[in-house]
Structure 1
């Protein structure tokens, strides 16, 4: 770069009367060569004046904005070199699209209120002020905000002075350390807060008025996490304060702005009386994720967005590690495998996946890679790597990397080299096979006497010759109750010997590796017996049927084989295997919904779920495990939708009590019971649930009733719910939820696509172009369409371009083909 920013002095004044803001900035720059044109990023901003000062000489500048490139060119007569200052005055819009500097609206005592907040990742700081808006262009920032007296202002650093100016106040904030633009934060609103301390660092939970009491849990957890991360990384938290801020309208879940982390209200506010178990866990995971970023991402930042995955998957991995330390009884690593590994493998077994380390050219492409590959697959690869090099080498390598690159930018290879150097292992070559190529392998095993013959190939749900290539460095681990041996499997095939007198084996022991295993028939039979007798660790009991289920969908095995194998899990006592078998059986039934053979699958599913419900009981008990609460809800709502008479009867009784007194049902069961009532319900039920939605006090409660409103069998009522979701009563940040829920409802299949087509222009307006939630909406189409609709869906998106979802569209069409083929295979299998 010819011109490098050194420091920004920024002043913002949001004006709520007409939702605009005024801004002023003085950027100190270093011109490495003689220039008379300076180009930086700028979008949706009007420049009022601009001048450049060099050696005390002021030059008025001519400015040109290029809307398409989102750039501002500053042109001056006389060339300059060395230190200079750019002064710009500008105005912008406080938009309602949840990006850049935007407004959020909420109700308080029936009155509509507004606040202004920012979301700059990946490339939206340029919508708030002209800047060099790329992670590598780090600078220091001195920020001031002018706000009406009823408001408070927040930024990354503490306030150093406040000055009254008639009905407004000028807040000045301390100068930031050197940092990237995407981590800057500005907030103006009627806030209240809880304050605590972790060492010398002030920690606050900031909310809109009336909500701070729900911030206690987050504040206590934030304090514990901050000091734990300081110890683990061996580097003190670099700022004097850390704010956790709850925002009513927020597109993402949370954002790691340095020293001022923003969250959706439902992910920060916890009320022991009304919040569910899942909410408490989710809050803990997200706070942990965002605090990990304060070092990994904020202190050391990736050079460019192709390494985004390193930021995100690292925070995902660390979040699980640290919450697991505080709450070992939550069984978090097992849940990580059920959620993150399943989600990542689901996406990564498509031809239209992408490598973890992906080329990113334009800013709209950045939005596309905030997906399960960047977060979840990356997290699984880090877990595999930590297991391969050992925990202590992994931590030492990380410490070294953070120490070497603090206040600077780094690339993925810098981290691999640090861990490789300490562990004296081929880390970079091993890891690169998982980062540079798309997909992951399946290891096929054939056992002859004591010799295992292994082959690896790329695992695809829809395979073809073109995409079948790939060779991985697989840390192959074999064991039963203990690890028998570990080898790096780097060729297409190899053979290994089992020790004598062994009674059986599991490959990918502890499911540490990101790959599936296909056993030969006789080994699978032996494993079924070992599962039944629980002679295998619970994580491996989960893995064997998890792989087998996936192999059914890819056509490598049969559904009947899976159903037979699932018998071994009838007395399963671990959450992980139980929940996965339950999900798999239910998903087989709903895939076969309306087919003649659905009944056969239904009886397996009902038997399995009834046994779980019998063991758990309906009423939460003091002795319940943390995961029991999540399991109970799933089982009740699924049995209701399998039309089980007993469950429906019990739901009716409990719903009647709930309508008289809402305290009679535990928060974990409200949505399951209301969903079952909708499933059997009429328009009267629809009115009741809508009323419950309107009267709900918290966003978390509202979302439960919104979810239940999508469970009707009656198509007219489902359309009514979809139309309701388009009104101002449902926030745009929650728009994807009703669509995903109706897509998952077998009675929503016929109506959702016509409704989406008709409402797409409205949806685009409400959700906002480039919003990451659009990917979820597009992905939901795979549940409702079959391969006969592929052409029509393609044409629709051609006519209605939705930038940032192109990859998701391809993945969705591929999933439609996979689902259609799977259903055809099932028909053949069950009618023969």
Structure 2
């Protein structure tokens, strides 16, 4: 810790919605451990009007130095001070439209344009709202007051303790917060409404803009359920008297765990039974569980520094799946975890440009780059692997010990390993440091020789064209054979006696690694897949590993397609979802090749077999995952211009235009098919539906579909529309994400990014996570020349905080280009 540390912030904010500015006043009680004549705080985009310090009963006026680049405010005193002191600072700032710091959000109610003010401080944007020590370890208590127009309501982390009318304004004063980090502080001002309930002594509210509170009923129920679940699981009561769940119209992230005042995109908190899909319902549950888990992991116990961000995000990811699965076992959420988390983690960590879970972080721009599939997905997966290794009960006791020991303080990864290792009496630190301290993960090569199963490990890379440093992982290994399962802690090569017809490494897919089988072992597994003699999870992992080996050039594309034939009678959601996604990926990547029609035909046959078992409409008693699969297959067949699918989609769309009726689970797929086969008249109809859409969820569906037309003039129109005022900044990425997987549209995206890059950066603001998504969107390219062009462009138009994403994007383009090159040789 530095020599100066905050104890308490007394903050008053007064937002001005006419000028989109705010005035702030603060008193910071500080402790100074050694005499100093200068104090440095964080401050960005603020004007300092007045500043003074109280020390030994005397007022001192310091000299002020603002360093815009370093985002620092330095106060220089004429004498040295130490011990206790109070800083008083009067400042003003902008209610910006960049979705970071203290910002404004726009919405409509009864035909009138309205604004609210809200905050997003993680990772390092509290400094845009008030001068502070904007680092996780600089914990303090906060006393917040908000002076607002009388027609507005104010919200913060704690309950209101007093309301005072001051002319046309109202002063809201909130209770003192627990000791916490600046990034968890929350402020909101606007015209809100809410529904409420209680969980034990905790008041729970779902807060929305006017006219939307009825869409919060499902989230209110989820919040009560998950809060109760985590209190029981962690054996520590939720420490605040209230928990607000707040739907914000404009929000860059999905949600944010501000202590006692969690914020969400409207699409992730609000649920309309008439238009919300099964996927939306499950996503709402998962994100609510994730953010509530943070109230313990992240808020009660906070990482010391951002290199341990994974302690927050991986745990929330892992614990959310545990909670949802416990309360809704019929959703098969651990199976879905493989699709939502393991695929993303394995994919990003297959790159040389990936990073370790525990990653060095120096600046705010470094922090913003690591909110990715490593900190969330890979971390969640290695926790699943660890829990499986030490056992559920040891894991739970270890977490309780860790939380109890470090509550209201900061902790490191080592602190966690100490708790889990001491409870389980297993080599937790030794094993887990090989997973969190080094980049990448292993592929285990498995072959049978002389009645012995021989297993060896090396790092798996999608681009393995240069020598890389040899790495070694301590792997909790499990190998299933016909009549037994062998488990070992694998540190080097392993040999197992073998008297079986087949074997499957990574039984149950608990380990974060891939497996490469020789042809004989692979063929034997193919038979087990056809007979469904192994679990759905194992059938999934065999396919997913084979897909990655194919993309990396370790097996041929034809061998991959031949193996997929073993899945002709597959009926499980995660297995089929993965195969469909993989076949669609190849359809996009190879769309310019002469042999493309052969791939289209293969895909069409496979998808048709799946659809014939599903049909268009929900069957009573079917699993919720069936609805997710049905949507995937209909969209995929529509893109292949299946006549029956197209005809039925047109019929259902015509009925929607006439009656407004279409099942929520079918809206996305039908819009997708209608767009793909549509003309300018269809485009206008869909644009009209977008403009009248009753919910954000429906708007996003329709906006995405505008990028699914085949006519390039219409697609160019969509790109132009994307930058208009009719599209929220938070949604700007949606049509781009759809267009890059449209064979007719993907070549339009990069020229559009180049042409509009300056405006995109200006609209998002430096540091906005959405910028990285825009850069990442072009990773679907498969052209060495395009990779050079993109690299050259961003060398000239560099934006801090995008370096890592750019390196990953360029690497993916090279991987795709090399895969296309190899496949071309195969087919010619």
Does TM, normalized by the shorter one, top 0.5?
yes
**Cα distance in 2 between the residues matched to 1:604 and 1:747:** 20
1:772 corresponds, among 769, 772, 776, to 769
Bigger shift: 801-810 or 7-16? 801-810
Q: Is 1:439 aligned to residue 440 of structure 2?
A: yes
Alpha-carbon deviation of 1:468? Answer: 4.7
> Which residue is 2:507 aligned to?
509
> Which residue is 2:173 aligned to?
172
**Cα distance in 1 between the residues matched to 2:469 and 2:534:** 32
Alpha-carbon deviation of 1:483? Answer: 5.8
* Map 1:331-346 → 2, pairs under 5 A: 331-346=332-347
Q: Is 1:685 aligned to residue 686 of structure 2?
A: no
> Which residue is 2:659 aligned to?
661
* Map 1:462-541 → 2, pairs under 5 A: 462-480=463-481, 484-491=485-492, 493-498=493-498, 500=499, 502-541=500-539
> Which residue is 1:398 aligned to?
399
Alpha-carbon deviation of 1:35? Answer: 1.8
* Change in 2 beyond 3 A, CA 1:666/1:449: farther
Alpha-carbon deviation of 1:494? Answer: 2.2
* Change in 2 beyond 3 A, CA 1:193/1:481: farther
Alpha-carbon deviation of 1:795? Answer: 1.4
State the SS of the aligned residue for 1:747.
coil
Alpha-carbon deviation of 1:783? Answer: 1.5
The list of structure 1 runs, each at least 4 consecutive aligned residues, that deviate by more than 6 angstroms after superposition, is none
Contact 2:66 2:72 in 1 (8 A): yes
State the SS of the aligned residue for 1:285.
helix
* Change in 2 beyond 3 A, CA 1:830/1:175: same
Alpha-carbon deviation of 1:248? Answer: 0.4
Deviations 1:110-159 (A, max 9, x none): 10000010000001111111111100000111111111110110000000
* Map 1:272-421 → 2, pairs under 5 A: 272-421=273-422
**Cα distance in 1 between the residues matched to 2:484 and 2:676:** 48
TM-score computed with the length of structure 2 as normaliser: 0.99
State the SS of the aligned residue for 2:745.
helix
Q: Is 1:815 aligned to residue 795 of structure 2?
A: no
2:634 corresponds, among 623, 633, 636, to 636
* Change in 2 beyond 3 A, CA 1:543/1:192: same
Bigger shift: 674-683 or 397-406? 674-683
Flag structure 1 segments of 5+ consecutive residues without an equivalent. none
Q: Is 1:26 aligned to residue 27 of structure 2?
A: yes
Alpha-carbon deviation of 1:464? Answer: 3.5
**Cα distance in 2 between the residues matched to 1:641 and 1:767:** 32
Deviations 1:552-608 (A, max 9, x none): 111110111111111111111211111111222222233222423222222221111
Flag structure 2 segments of 5+ consecutive residues without an equivalent. none
Contact 2:782 2:820 in 1 (8 A): no
Contact 1:446 1:520 in 2 (8 A): yes
Q: Is 1:548 aligned to residue 546 of structure 2?
A: yes
TM-score computed with the length of structure 1 as normaliser: 0.98
**Cα distance in 1 between the residues matched to 2:284 and 2:151:** 30
> Which residue is 1:252 aligned to?
253
> Which residue is 1:741 aligned to?
738
State the SS of the aligned residue for 2:806.
helix
Contact 2:708 2:738 in 1 (8 A): yes
Q: Is 1:697 aligned to residue 694 of structure 2?
A: yes
State the SS of the aligned residue for 1:601.
helix
**Cα distance in 1 between the residues matched to 2:352 and 2:390:** 30
> Which residue is 2:668 aligned to?
671
> Which residue is 2:593 aligned to?
595
**Cα distance in 2 between the residues matched to 1:62 and 1:33:** 20
Alpha-carbon deviation of 1:644? Answer: 1.3
Deviations 1:764-821 (A, max 9, x none): 1222221101111111112235111222111111121122111111111111111011
Deviations 1:634-657 (A, max 9, x none): 111111111211111111211111
> Which residue is 1:622 aligned to?
620
Deviations 1:465-489 (A, max 9, x none): 4325211111110115786121011
State the SS of the aligned residue for 2:687.
helix
State the SS of the aligned residue for 2:750.
helix
> Which residue is 1:122 aligned to?
123
State the SS of the aligned residue for 1:164.
strand
Contact 2:207 2:246 in 1 (8 A): yes
* Change in 2 beyond 3 A, CA 1:63/1:284: same
State the SS of the aligned residue for 2:250.
coil
Contact 1:54 1:84 in 2 (8 A): yes
State the SS of the aligned residue for 1:463.
coil
Q: Is 1:568 aligned to residue 569 of structure 2?
A: no
State the SS of the aligned residue for 2:355.
coil
> RMSD value over aligned CA atoms?
1.2
> Which residue is 2:604 aligned to?
606
Alpha-carbon deviation of 1:449? Answer: 4.8
* Change in 2 beyond 3 A, CA 1:613/1:801: same
**Cα distance in 2 between the residues matched to 1:264 and 1:246:** 6
